[in-house]
């Protein structure tokens, strides 16, 4: 009887180890892009002019990426109580092939940006994501290079 109980106990322990290994394999198979990212700086280059925005001052911008979709949220830190009030949001699906990341913007508070695709070259080093690409939206008169630097949000 003791041998049966011992074997049963050992089986339970081994099965829990296998389940933990399977969970870790699932986690490691997600692309390193998956997570929540806080925008630090944005650089726009348009018609020879360069504008750099520090997103750590006065505003907050995050991008949330899962295995198939992304969403972004941007707002001022003054709760809309001054002339710098801003709120924008959007999201959709994306593809990632090697270092080519393409967003299909299906939803956006700036409605003329909807139904456009934006392709970026990305690099991830440690907890820093940099994306570089062209934003072109004919309906909004936008044709510019966009470079964004993010840091991963820790849990």
Q: What is the pLDDT of residues 84-96, one digit of tens each?
A: 889 999 999 999 9
Report the candidate in 92, 88, 146, 89 with the shortest Cα–Cα distance to residue 116.
Answer: 92
What is d(CA 106, CA 90) in angstroms, rounded to the nearest whole number? Answer: 8
**Residue 97 structure tokens:** 């092939």
**Residue 151 structure tokens:** 């840091």
- pLDDT of res. 4: 46
Interval 133-143 mean pLDDT: 94
In this prediction, what percent of the chain has a pLDDT beyond 70? 80
- pLDDT of res. 26: 44
Give the tens place of pLDDT for each residue, 23-60.
Answer: 444 444 566 999 999 999 999 999 999 999 999 998 99
In which band, very low, low, confident or very high, does the pLDDT at 110 lie, cut at 50, 70 and 90? very high
Report the candidate in 136, 100, 127, 109 with the shortest Cα–Cα distance to residue 32.
Answer: 127
What is d(CA 82, CA 76) in angstroms, rounded to the nearest whole number? Answer: 9
Report the candidate in 60, 61, 135, 137 with the shortest Cα–Cα distance to residue 102.
Answer: 135
What is d(CA 96, CA 76) in angstroms, rounded to the nearest whole number? Answer: 30
143 C-beta neighbours (distance < 10 Å), count = 12
**Residue 12 structure tokens:** 């339970």
- pLDDT of res. 2: 54
63 close to 72: Cβ distance less than 8 angstroms: yes
Q: Is the pLDDT of residue 143 over 70?
A: yes
Q: Is the pLDDT of residue 134 over 70?
A: yes
């Amino acid at each position: 009887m003791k041998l049966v109980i011992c074997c049963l106990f050992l089986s339970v322990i081994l099965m829990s180890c296998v389940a933990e290994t399977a969970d870790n394999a699932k986690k490691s198979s997600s692309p390193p892009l998956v997570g929540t990212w806080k925008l630090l700086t944005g650089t726009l280059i348009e018609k020879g002019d360069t504008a750099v925005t520090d997103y750590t001052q006065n505003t907050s911008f995050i991008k949330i990426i899962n295995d198939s979709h992304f969403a972004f949220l941007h707002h001022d830190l003054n709760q809309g109580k001054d002339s710098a009030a801003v709120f924008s949001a959007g999201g959709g699906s994306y593809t990632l092939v090697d270092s080519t990341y393409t967003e299909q913007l299906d939803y956006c508070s700036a409605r003329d940006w909807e139904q456009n695709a934006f392709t970026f070259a990305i690099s991830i080093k440690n907890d820093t994501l940099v994306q570089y690409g062209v934003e072109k939206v004919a309906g909004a008169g936008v044709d510019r290079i966009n470079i964004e630097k993010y840091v991963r949000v820790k849990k």
